[in-house]
Structure 1
Amino acid sequence: MTDYAAHATDKIPTPTIAIIGGGLTGLFTATLLERAFTHDNRKSVVPNIVIFEKSRSVGRLATRYRTDSATTKNWQWAFGAQFFTAKSADFQQFIKPWLATNLLQPWCANVVNLTPFHDAAPIADIQKKEQWNSTQARYISTPKMTSWGRALADELQHTSINFKTRVAPLSKEHFVERNDTNSKTELFDEDGNSLGHFDWVVCTTPNGQAVELMANSGFSEQAKISKSQMQACYTLMLGWEDGQPLPDTLSSQTHLWDVAYVHDSPLDRIFIEHQKPAHDQLLPSVTIHARNDWSQTHVDDDIKVVKAQLLQATKQALSWNDESTPSQVDCHRWRYAATISNPDNIANKALHILVDDKHQWIVSGDWCGQGNIESCYQMAAETVAVICSQTTGKKRAHGGGYYGVI
């Protein structure tokens, strides 16, 4: 990877940094930038960071809920990422503060393999697979998966977030080259209004959107954006009334489970929401993710048709009758959900962030890594290392980290 170290200067300018996308990669990047600049041992520089997010919220750890008027209890579904892992020491250190407050909690789920019933097998076949434990923990955010993203946003001190703002594709004409170390890019919204001038622009959107944003900009690494492909995912959300009988597969005392890996089906995994840590006050709620390859094949189908197909497949997996039919049914389509590694990359190495030194543009995102939440953190750390090394002249630590980020 390129060494972005630069000679230190006596005066460190205040950098203006735009982050396109308020998902976890964007929030992690802003968090680590604030720490890196304000915790620098030699200089204290307060960065001016702006996050542009097209939706009304941050985090992309999506949660949907409904309230039952009779009981005032909620059904709740984590219809995006269900959990995350922390395998690297840096990321384990990063999440410690939220583990201490129980906003993040380990999920020691009972996991099974499930084969839905069919003509030759009138009941679903359930076989124990494993139990997740603290050795390689899976973590969730409580009380909702969106809670962590909101906490990250609330804790930012030198970052503003502009919601419901769509950044227009970058253009060569909007970059002003003053000299080798001082350049600005003007960003615009989709209506042509200026969003400001920035020393650095960091794009953290899914790669399909990044391709469009950078297409006519002259971005030096444009060809590499498409090397990682992403597949879709449909998510089905089911709920049952308080006191209503649950389907046989959910209520069986023989097989007590929290997560099911589904075989021979359009479904991929089933998650029982109300059995998660700190979720025991929920009404019975179950989230089902369809297989990514199946979802991609049907990505442009009418979502009502897809919903019906997934509901039928789930009925075969959970075995409900007239009394135990779910009363709450919803379906969501994610166009960009799972990262497919470059088929030409025999070693299956991660792409890493893409840097255009001249323009001071960076394209980042979990899809630059392994497509998971820990990759969001790793790509954010790489981004911070690049910006800090060019701004402060401080070299990155061994392995791509940055002294002072954590």
Structure 2
Amino acid sequence: MTANASSAQSNTNQATAKTAAPKIAIIGGGLTGLFTAALLEKQWAERESGQIKDQSKMPQITIFEKSRSVGRLATRYRSAASEDKQWQWAFGAQFFTAKTEDFANFIQPWLANGLLQPWLARVVDLMPADSSGQTPDLNFKEQWDTNHARYISTPKMTSWGRALADNLQCTTINFKTRVAPLAQYAQLTANKPTELFDDSGVSLGAFDWVVCTTPNGQALDLMADSGFSQQNKILQPTMLACYTLMLGWNDVANLPKTLSSKVGSSWDVAYLYNSPLAKIFIEHQKPSRDELLPSVTIHASNEWSEQRVDDDIKTIQTQLLAAAKQALNWYEDTAPSQIDCHRWRYAATVIDKNDEPLGILVDEQYQWIVSGDWCGQGNIESCYQMAAKTVEAIMVTTND
């Protein structure tokens, strides 16, 4: 073969490799991971004249999720033994906004079918009772509207994540799969596919792109000693913990006065002051929640939670329950019958108002991307924005 022929063949091989549909691993089945898979499929299909005619031309996407379900819009529920009703708590994100045109357009299909709905909550400021016996003080703060809509998923906050997963056509989701740190078992070589392993050393396959969408503390561990060129930037955003207290009552007649009085029944969300608690959400008053037993979700403040992030969960529950009793002012006959507590170790992203968001972290040699809401503003819209940036980075390398 002549030098010119060899060069031409090399160029042909490079073009083929560049345009071939890649194998893509997404670590984490939260909303960032689901959005990334959905946008990849959509943009690839659009490049193929808007239709998925040949599956072999589509990227092979695999999502590895350590839990049993997708989406970080977590819902917990319990069924009552005596009747066909249940308590339900959105103990993760309570709602989200769509401030950019791209994200607003993206959610339109789910608004149209009613899976997503605006929450027109009545919001109050709440000053808990004090040791002198003063009752809680409620003051109207604002009424949420459709002009600055806060959206929820119905009938559960997890419903949207499951719908996103169900709509994926070229994506496989492997649940209950923990991906080991990239350097633990693999022979890592730049410009070659990355072989992933689970935490017991079993190979999960080789991938052209690896996208890590976990919280930054977990991303730091996954990429440790791997040669990831952006490793030192992962911990730039500060993430704080959050404890969530979930309370349930058997009947509206059993609710404490702060929830059941004429003043109390007219509010849906409370912002708290002089308390370890930050916000209270009345679940059974949300849209499409009419059949629920009385359910209330309470978020502790991030600062209070972070200071106690490694404390015993039962001790935390006792402390939060005492604070909730001061806020809602119950007695023995109006005390909650259902009590639960959850710890989010990575719940809120702290961004100084003068700082720009981090953005996704890309290693072009290894074709690794670290992404997540914490790379943006730390909210659900940031999940979408970081997913879009990730897809853009991948698509650039596969275009002619």
Aligned AA (1:27): L
**How far has the Cα of 1:9 moved from its partner?**
4.6
Q: Which position in structure 2 is the counterpart of 1:74?
A: 86
Match of 1:168 among 160, 180, 183: 180
Do 2:252 and 2:294's aligned partners in 1 also have CA atoms closer than 8 Å?
no
Deviation track 1:61-107 (CA, whole Å, cap 9, x = no partner) reads 11011111111201000000000001000000000111111111100
Secondary structure (helix, strand or coil) at the match of 2:102 reads helix
List aligned pairs for 1:113-124, cutoff 5 A. 113-120=125-132, 122-124=134-136
Between the two proteins, the alignment pairs up a number of residues equal to: 379
Q: Distance in 2 between matches of 1:138 and 1:282?
A: 21
**Equivalent of 2:33 in 26, 30, 46:** 26
Shift of 1:275: 0.1
Give 2:39's aligned amino acid. L
| Structure-2 change in CA distance of 1:278 and 1:42 (3 Å) | closer
2: CA distance, partners of 1:177 / 1:283? 55
Secondary structure of the structure 2 residue equivalent to 1:91: helix
The residue type paired with residue 232 of structure 1 is: A
Match for 2:363: what amino acid? D
CA–CA distance in 1 between the matches of 2:371 and 2:241? 19
SS in 1 for 2:365: coil
- What is the aligned partner in structure 2 of residue 396 from structure 1? none
What secondary structure, in the 3-state scheme, does the structure 1 residue paired with 2:77 have?
A: strand
CA distance in 2, matches of 1:119, 1:232: 28
Q: Which amino acid is the alignment partner of residue 235 of structure 1?
A: T
2:367 paired residue number = 360
Residue 129 of structure 1 is matched in structure 2 by 141
- In the TM superposition, what are the counterparts of 1:149-298 in structure 2 within 5 Å? 149-171=161-183, 173-177=186-190, 183-255=192-264, 256-298=266-308
Q: Which residue of 1 aligns with 2:310?
A: 300
Q: Equivalent residue of 1:102, what SS? A: coil
Give distance in 2, aligned partners of 1:46 and 1:329.
Answer: 47
Aligned-partner SS, 2:332: coil
Q: Which amino acid aligns with 1:390?
A: T
Query: Hey, what's the Cα distance between the residues in 2 that align with 1:246 and 1:113?
Result: 19
Q: Partner of 2:346: helix, strand, or coil?
A: strand
On the 8 A contact 2:252/2:260 being kept in 1, the answer is: no
Matching residue's letter, 2:334: S
| Whole-Å separation in 2 of the counterparts to 1:118 and 1:174 | 61
What corresponds to 1:84 in structure 2?
Answer: 96
| Post-superposition offset of 1:339 | 0.7
Shift of 1:176: 3.4
Q: Which amino acid aligns with 1:12?
A: T
Q: CA deviation at 1:330?
A: 0.5
Q: Taking structure 1 as the reference length, what is the TM-score of the superposition?
A: 0.91
**CA offsets per residue over residues 6-46 of structure 1, 9 Å max, x none?**
xx957720111000000000000000000011111669741
Paired position in structure 1 for 2:354: 347
Counterpart position of 2:106: 94
Q: C-alpha displacement at 1:218, in angstroms?
A: 0.4
Mind listing any 5+ residue stretches in structure 2 that lack a counterpart?
1-13
Q: Which residue of 1 aligns with 2:66?
A: 54
8 Å CA contact 1:116, 1:317 repeated in 2: yes
TM-score, normalised with respect to structure 2: 0.92
Q: Which moved more, 1:39-48 or 1:196-205?
A: 39-48
Q: How much does 1:347 deviate?
A: 2.3
1:330 aligns with 2:362: no
Code of the aligned partner of 1:258: D
SS in structure 1 at match of 2:25: strand
Q: Which runs of 5+ in 1 are unaligned?
A: 1-7, 394-406
**Cα pair 2:279 2:298 within 8 Å, conserved:** yes
Letter in 2 for 1:276: K
Q: Deviations over 1:335-387 (max 9, x none)?
A: 1101122x6xx722110000000000000000000111000000000000000
Cα distance in structure 2, aligned partners of 1:145 and 1:152: 12
Q: Find the aligned partners of 2:261 and 2:311 in 1 and give their Cα distance.
A: 35
* Contact in 2 for aligned 1:244/1:323 (Cα 8 Å): no
**Distance between the aligned counterparts of 1:37 and 1:297, measured in 2?**
45
Higher helix residue share: 2
Q: Kindly tell me: are residues 243 and 140 of structure 1, through their superposed partners in 2, closer, same or farther at Cα, counting changes over 3 Å?
A: closer
Flag the structure with larger Rg.
2
Q: What letter corresponds to residue 193 of structure 1 in structure 2? A: V
**Residues 266 and 313 in structure 1, CA contact (< 8 A), matched pair in contact too:** yes
Amino acid in structure 1 at the alignment position of 2:369: I
Shift in Å, 1:259: 0.1
Separation in structure 2 between the aligned mates of residue 323 and residue 245 of structure 1, nearest angstrom: 7
RMSD: 1.6
Contact 1:187-1:194 within 8 A present in 2 as well: yes
| CA-to-aligned-CA distance 1:231-258 (integer Å, 9 cap, x gap) | 1100000000125421111012034100
Aligned-partner Cα distance in 2 for 1:348–1:258: 33
Instruction: Tell me, yes or no, if the aligned pair for 1:20 and 1:204 is still in contact at 8 Å.
Output: yes
- Pairs within 5 Å for 1:363-402: 363-393=370-400
Tell me the amino acid that sits aligned with residue 307 of structure 1. Q
Shift of 1:175: 2.8
Q: Pairwise mapping of residues 98-109 of structure 1 onto structure 2 (< 5 A)? A: 98-109=110-121
Conserved in 2, the CA contact under 8 Å of 1:175 and 1:185? Answer: yes
> Alignment partner of 2:189: what SS?
strand
Contact 2:212–2:370 under 8 Å retained in 1: yes
1:141 aligned to 144, 150, 153, which one?
A: 153
